Amino acid sequence: MSESEFERKVFTERKKKIEQIVALGQRAYPNSFATTHTLAAIRSRYDNATAEDLETARTSVAVSGRLMAIRQQGKAGFAQLQQGGVKLQIYVRKDAVGDQGFELYKLLDIGDHIGVSGYLFRTRTGELTVHVETITFLSKAMLALPEKYHGLADVELRYRQRYVDLFMNTALNEGTPAEINVRDVFVKRAKVLAAMRHYFDQRGYIEVETPMMQPVAGGAAAKPFTTHHNALDLDLFLRIAPELYLKRLVVGGLDRVYEINRNFRNEGISTQHNPEFTMLEFYQAYANYHDLMDLTEELIKFVAMEVNGKLTTNFNDVEIDLGKWERLSMRDAIIKWWPDYFGASPTMEELSDEQKLATRLADAHEIARSQPNKSQEQLNTFGIFVPIEMDLRDRRKSLGHIIAELFELLAEEHLIQPTIIYDFPLAVSPLSKQKPDEPDWVERFEFYIGGFELGNAFSELNDPEEQRKRFEMQLAERERGDEEAHQMDEDYVRALSYGLPPTAGEGIGIDRLTMVLTGAKSIRDVILFPLLRPHKKTEAESAE
């Protein structure tokens, strides 16, 4: 820790204060303090009590908390205690706490933890306050707290010193903008997890934990982190998904399983991506993707009610109604969001035939190219569209890949209200079951809220021979340089060979769902300790 002169000075002064506090008969770092109430309990129980109520039935309390404000007034003073995200004012006067007690009070700093006992009253201005009779010193803040009104605003410091962020940036600080009410966000995140567990537990799913360290990183298309086990001299991957293990469990007869845990993907960081993120995955035997569409809507509604008590949520200044869902096939979504700028929308038939789509994209390319005045947005779209069109024309990518790319380019950003996008190309879905009537398409859906993907689900491919073929197709793509193509997993094929019943499974990004439910604009605001590049150490510090 590199300290400034200011911080060293404050630290030294406060060490002296601790000595003085000990000289007053207090312990420097006592082991405990018995309270009668939490601050939250006092607020909920006595917030409506009048001054007369409090006077006639005198309520003695012992409470503790961190001092967040001190307003000294000669031989008396007010201070504000904070505990559990709740604040309560205390009033200390010399004639009530005695000479020693008041000496102690004067040695307190903002940030210190104390315990007080006394009785409740209302001040002249009507604020519920503890009239203090004894003060017990509990712990000292050896560093100065951030500015009391604005809190800790520097985004980098908030992430690096989340411990400060958490006690400074609460809804109780008037200057704190609602979107960085940090404590509340993480309380809600915990409620999301609890609600999900409750939902699945009630429906006969069992919660399981599958390996985070895997010899083959499967179940998704992503670059993994690698690690090594010394005793076995074994290279391992941090998992990118639990999927293949969870389906092995369904083979084993655990018909309904879920897991809530971290996935690790060695890819870029953005407002929607952190290298480690939390995923719910669940599998249900004898269900298909239609069943999971219904379940998804029900689950998200349930979680929203548990967390927020309502189905609407404000995200990026848009009111989102989690009670109303739209369902669109991927091809319909492309047709719906096809921009006029590219001419008339393609037809379903054109989107299902490589040759016809190639012609259609070439036409669109020409129409867009010949338009004289392009907006920046159109230029951006065009800039992404052109390579897609060329990939199809030069047969570098299959129809399926092109469809998926077109969908992401044209439709994804529009999916603000809850939308289920179903029927994906087989080429981008190596673990999904084909549609009986359209073998190039699979029974898969993703759902979108706020313009990004929150979940991915499908009827699970359970034919071991077909699965082997799909893995081989993936290996071929890997050969062609796609580092994220799926690896072969022989044991998974073996597991399928013992018989996986018809099963559907789904993964839901917990961080992103929490963003939607709390209005957080960055995934880093819903992860307590998001990954940051460490500050480069100075030579002096490295030598320590």
Partner RNA sequence: GAGCCCGUAGCUCAGUAGGUAGAGCAACGCCCUUUUAAGGCGUGGGUCCUGGGUUCGAAUCCCAGCGGGCUCACCA
- Residue numbers 172-191 binding RNA by CB under 7 A: 174-175
Does position 10 interact with RNA (CB under 7 A)? The reply is: yes
Q: Which stretch binds RNA (CB under 7 A): 207-215, 322-330, 473-481, 533-541?
A: 533-541
Query: Which range, of 132-140, 303-311, 367-375, 448-456, touches RNA by CB under 7 A?
Result: 448-456
Q: Report the site for RNA in 483-512 (rule: CB under 7 A).
A: 484, 509, 511-512
Instruction: Let me know if 410 is exposed, middle or buried by CB neighbors in 10 A (0-12, 13-18, 19+).
Output: buried
Q: Does 73 bind RNA (CB under 7 A)?
A: yes
CB of 51 to RNA, least distance (A): 9
Q: Helices 330-337 and 399-410: crossing angle, nearest 10°?
A: 50
64 binds RNA (CB under 7 A): no
SS (H, E, C) 17-49: HHHHHHHCCCCCCCCCCCCCCCHHHHHHHHCCC
The interface region with RNA, picked from 64-72, 229-237, 281-289, 495-503 by CB under 7 A, is: 64-72
The footprint of RNA on residues 85-114 (CB under 7 A) is 89, 91, 93-95, 109-110
Indicate the helix (H) or strand (E) that contains 89: strand 86-93
Identify which of 289, 266, 256 has the alpha carbon closest to the alpha carbon of residue 220. 266
Stretch that binds RNA, among 146-154, 191-199, 323-331, 342-350 (CB under 7 A): 146-154
Among 49, 76, 86, 475, binds RNA (CB under 7 A): 76
Calculate the alpha carbon distances from 255 to 119, 210, 445 in Å: 57, 15, 21
Residue 33 within binding range of RNA, rule CB under 7 A: no
Print the binding letters for residues 252-291 with RNA: x by CB under 7 A, - otherwise.
Answer: -------------x-xx-xxxxxx-x--------------
Q: Is 8 exposed, middle or buried (0-12, 13-18, 19+ CB in 10 A)?
A: exposed
Binding segment for RNA (CB under 7 A), chosen from 56-64, 71-79, 360-368, 490-498, is 71-79
Residue 129 found at the interface with RNA (CB under 7 A): yes
- Cβ pair 439, 478 in contact under 8 A: no
Q: Which of 370, 418, 427 is nearest to 397 (CA)?
A: 427
Establish if 405 lies at the interface with RNA (CB under 7 A): yes
8 A C-beta contact, residue 224 and residue 216: no
- What is the bridge-based pairing of β-strands 434-435 and 206-207? unpaired
Among 7-15, 32-40, 288-296, 492-500, which window interacts with RNA (CB under 7 A)? Answer: 7-15
Distances (CA, A) of 447 to 310, 314, 372, 400, 429: 20, 18, 37, 19, 15
Instruction: Considering only the stretches 205-213, 289-297, 340-348, 445-453, report the one whose residues sit in contact with RNA under the rule CB under 7 A.
Output: 445-453
154 binds RNA (CB under 7 A): yes
Contact pattern from residue 209 through residue 238 relative to RNA, giving x for each residue in contact according to CB under 7 A and a dash for the rest: -----------xxx----------------
Please select the residue that binds RNA; options are 48, 125, 370, 375, rule is CB under 7 A. 125
Residue 318 sits in the site that holds RNA (CB under 7 A):
no
By CB under 7 A, tell whether 522 contacts RNA: yes
Rounded CA gap, 225 and 239, in Å? 8
Chain mean position to CA 206: 23
Q: With respect to RNA, which residue has the nearer C-beta, 285 or 524?
A: 524
Alpha-helix residue ranges (DSSP H) falling in 233-312: 243-251, 289-308
CB 140 to RNA: min, Å: 11
Q: Which is nearer to RNA, 9 or 228 (CB)?
A: 9
